Structure 1
Amino acid sequence: MKPFQFLAIVPCALMLIGPLVHNKLHPFILDMPFPLGWVTVWIVLTAATMAVVYAIDPANKGGDR
């Protein structure tokens, strides 16, 4: 596994750890209770992180064969 591929672990870990630490209904994130808002935000950030990992990966530069 290449070092930049470890970026994929960070959002997944933070998405799972956050609601365990902050299991409260208040404050609201985007008008949703905190656990639901936390997971929603991290789903979007995970997609953005995976797009960055895909763009950095040299294996994706070769094109179709």
Structure 2
Amino acid sequence: MKPIHCLGLLPFVAFFSGGWLAEHLAPRVFGLPFLMAWNVLWLVASSGIMALMFCLDGSTRAGAIAEDTVDGGRA
């Protein structure tokens, strides 16, 4: 396992730490309850983190997938 794959734990930890933070912070963020805003934020952030992991992975499978997308999957 590469060190970059450890980034995948960040959204998991963030989702479960939101309940603890909700007890100590403001009740509303952008008009939403704090916990809902926290989960929406990390839902979007986790997609970005996974895209970053894919780009930085550098494995041959990731390169093959990108090449198949470019040439339409023709071998």
TM-score greater than 0.5 by the shorter chain = yes
Equivalent-residue separation in structure 2 for 1:10 and 1:25 (angstroms): 21
Equivalent-residue separation in structure 2 for 1:58 and 1:25 (angstroms): 40
**Is the contact between residue 27 and residue 33 of structure 1 (CA under 8 Å) also seen in structure 2?**
yes
Give the corresponding residue for 2:19: 19
With the length of structure 1 as denominator, give the TM-score of the two structures: 0.80
1:25–1:36 CA distance, 2 compared to 1 (3 A) = farther
| TM-align CA RMSD | 2.0
Q: Percent identity?
A: 26
- The structure 1 segments of at least 4 consecutive aligned residues displaced by more than 4 Å after TM superposition are none
What residue ranges of structure 2 are gaps of 5+ in the alignment? Answer: 69-74
Whether 1:50 aligns to 2:55 is no
How many equivalent residue pairs? 65
Higher helix share: 2
| Deviation (angstroms), 1:24 | 6.7
What residue ranges of structure 1 are gaps of 5+ in the alignment? Answer: none
Give the corresponding residue for 2:72: none
CA deviation string 1:34-56 (max 9, x = no partner): 11111011100111100100111
